[in-house]
Amino acid sequence: MAVLVFVETAEGTIKKSSLEAVAYGAAMSSGGVTALAIGTEVDDTALAGLGNYGATKVLHVKDERLNKGIIQAYAEVISQAMKDEGAEVLVLANSSLGNPVSARVAIRSNASLVSNVTELPDTSSGFTVKRSIYTGKAFAVVNLTQEKKILAIRKNAIELKETGGSAAVEAYNVSVPESAFAAVITDTEKATGEVLLPEAEIVVSGGRGLKGPENWGMIEDLAHELGAATGCSKPVSDMGWRPHHEHVGQTGVKVSPQLYVAVGISGAIQHLAGVNSSKNIVVINKDPEAPFFKAADYGIVGDAFEVVPKLTEAIKAAK
């Protein structure tokens, strides 16, 4: 089974979610996988490292016009690469870029598409995959019937295993029509922080229980000790205490880390919708009736201004 994996990059590095996609593709293909990288932001040395996760070959499209992630242009390149490589399956990360791109590629390639994939496909009788639905509250088993298939992998659903290999990187020249660049990106606001929220394995979030932006230092201190990204509830970002790119919830960033720590967040259903896929949830709140405790794996009833600094010091001492 020929598998092509679309690899996303940012600021010269390959996104962790794309490494997971490569590992997924390698696990389902006995003959190895071909990865596809678009743009000039990452060099060939970094791309060769994809062999450490199962890629045997990397196609690199070195076109500066593609650095901004214009969806129509990416769909054009990926569709052509699938055709040239004879790929039966396209694997990519379930992301803000991967989702719209995969939809367009599916139309162009007449392919079956399934998102939020959490497990390897079952090919014993047809081609079925398990996907997360209802913001992580349930799973569905989907049967893909088209000859070509596109699988968008949920972040942190696949265990990364290093193989020690190295992939051969080849320049891939593809003609992209000017019509594919009809959309123009005029401005981009990039998230900042030691660890970016969408890629984080640990997230520490704060809510209105922090009482004001001047108290956010203890959230950042705890996140620093845990090697975590910081997040917040919607009211916090609406009030301007924290930037909007840190808003976790149904209308913000949906996360699926190994550990989610919620500090001073009541647990409104809109927030829970963004964190339900977390492997473990820890809630710190002085209100024992806070709805978030019902969704928590572990809960601490106490004043965040007392609990969080002690927790931070304990983690620092344990190191």
User: In this structure, how many other beta carbons lie within 10 angstroms of the beta carbon of residue 310?
Assistant: 10
The predicted pLDDT at position 191 comes to: 61
| Binding site, annotated residues for FAD | 208, 264-271, 285
- Please tell me the predicted confidence (pLDDT) of residue 190: 65
More confident residue, 137 or 3: 3
The pLDDT score that the predictor gives to residue 114 is 97
Does 255 have pLDDT greater than 80? yes
Residues of the chain with CATH 3.40.50.620: 3-181
Mean pLDDT of the chain: 92
Which pLDDT band, with edges at 50, 70 and 90, does 96 fall under? confident
| pLDDT at position 268 | 92
Q: What is the pTM of this model?
A: 0.80
Give the model's pLDDT for residue 192.
60
Looking up tokens 């998102």, which residue turns up?
Answer: 115
The model's confidence at residue 213, banded by pLDDT at 50, 70 and 90, is very high
For 175-200, how does the pLDDT look when each residue is reduced to its tens digit (9 = 90+)? 888 888 888 777 776 666 667 787 78
207 closest CA partner among 275, 289, 271, 256: 271
CB of 265 closer than 8 Å to CB of 206 = yes
Q: Quick one: which of 61, 56, 64 has its CA closest to 30? A: 56
Task: State yes or no: pLDDT of 29 exceeds 90.
Answer: no
Domain 3-181 has CATH 3.40.50.620: yes
> Rounded to whole angstroms, how far apart are CA atoms 157 and 118?
5
Number of Cβ within a 10 Å radius of residue 97: 16
Which pLDDT belongs to residue 193? 60
Confidence of residue 14 (pLDDT cuts 50, 70, 90): very high
30-66 core/surface letters (b: 16 or more CB in 10 A; e: else) = eebbbbbbbbbbbebebbbbbbbbbbbbbbbbebeeb
Query: Which of 269, 293, 298, 294 lies closest to 282, judged by CA?
Result: 298
Task: Read off the pLDDT of each residue in 148-152 and give the average, rounded to a whole number.
Answer: 97
Structure tokens at 224: 């620093």
Q: Is 153 within 8 Å of 91 (Cβ atoms)?
A: yes
User: What are the residue ranges of CATH 3.40.50.1220 in the chain?
Assistant: 197-318
Most confident option among 56-60, 133-137, 179-183 = 56-60
pLDDT tens by residue, 263-296? 999 999 999 999 988 999 999 999 999 999 999 9
pLDDT band at 44 (very low <50, low <70, confident <90, very high): very high
What is the amino acid identity at position 225? E
DSSP for 129-145, please give it.
Answer: EEEEETTTTEEEEEE--
Mean pLDDT of 155-159: 85
- Whether domain 197-318 has CATH 3.40.50.1220: the reply is yes
Binding residues: 208, 264-271, 285
Rounded to an integer, the average pLDDT of 20-32 is 89
**What's the CA gap between 214 and 172, in Å, rounded?**
50
- pLDDT exceeds cutoff 90 at 68: no
